[in-house]
Amino acid sequence: MSTVDKSRDRVKKMFAEIAPRYDLLNHVLSLNIDTLWRSRTVRALELNQTDPVLDVCTGTGDLALAIARKHRGVFPVIGSDFCLPMLQRARSKQTAPGSGDLNVSFIEADTEQLPFPDNKFQAVTVAFGIRNVSETNRGLSEMLRVCKPGGVVAILEFSRPTFPGLSQLYDAYFRWVLPKIGQSLSKNDQSAYNYLPASVREFPSGRAMMDLMESIGLRDVRQTPMTFGVATLYLGTK
């Protein structure tokens, strides 16, 4: 049974509070490795030249924008999130000088109830967001529903290293160091940076995550651990 409060209103308010410094904190707390993880995710996607791509729980839009930049507007990219302050940060990046026409748009939408028809997107992605969805299975099922047959569902998420020594160091950093740094740089009354390590500890990773993806109907599920398993990219085909 989960001990982490992932209720919709709580998560939405928490991310609204940390939105102004969300990107800075991500880069500082991950030593900027999160940028590399997203780049590897974009390279792993085999995308065609016409069908749209959806990035759910897009937050401040980094993965959606990375996909759009790589393909320079040859197909639409949509980023969706239920937290408006996060989307506002994403839209500011979209219109930043030098961005050009990326053919990307950001909409307010709940991953558990996506406002799109079945079989619409060639790929549906999420980076560090699916574990924040209140009903994980429902969110994954929605991602699958709107993906085209033969398309890919891609999930980039924190995982737990298994190397002796590293796993203990990682756990200590997540439990004690990260919450203090995060809370000092981004004050919030929802304890966002205590929530992060707790949510990672409870969320399935490795084989358990692959089993979850297969249970909703994805096939050819595979995983690529990154940075000694600190993060993992999971890919599945509809």
Checking if the pLDDT of 1 tops 50, the result is no
Whether 143 maps to a domain, the answer reads: yes
pLDDT value at residue 187: 63
Q: What is the SS3 assignment for 124-176?
A: EEEECCHHHCCCHHHHHHHHHHHEEEEEEEEEEEECCCCCCCHHHHHHHHHHH
Residue type, 21: R
pLDDT value at residue 160: 84
CATH number at residue 219: 3.40.50.150
Who's near 53: CB < 8 A, 6+ residues apart? 45, 47, 64, 67, 75, 76, 77, 78, 121, 122, 123, 124, 125
Whether 13 maps to a domain, the answer reads: no
Whether 180 maps to a domain, the answer reads: no
Whether 168 maps to a domain, the answer reads: no
- Mean pLDDT confidence for 171-196: 70
Whether 137 maps to a domain, the answer reads: yes
Range of the domain at 111: 31-160+204-237
pTM for this entry: 0.93
Checking if the pLDDT of 190 tops 60, the result is no
Whether 170 maps to a domain, the answer reads: no
Whether 181 maps to a domain, the answer reads: no
**Pick from 68, 70, 115, 123: nearest CA to 94:** 68
Model confidence over 59-69: pLDDT tens digits? 999 999 999 99
Whether 10 maps to a domain, the answer reads: no
Number of domains in the chain: 1
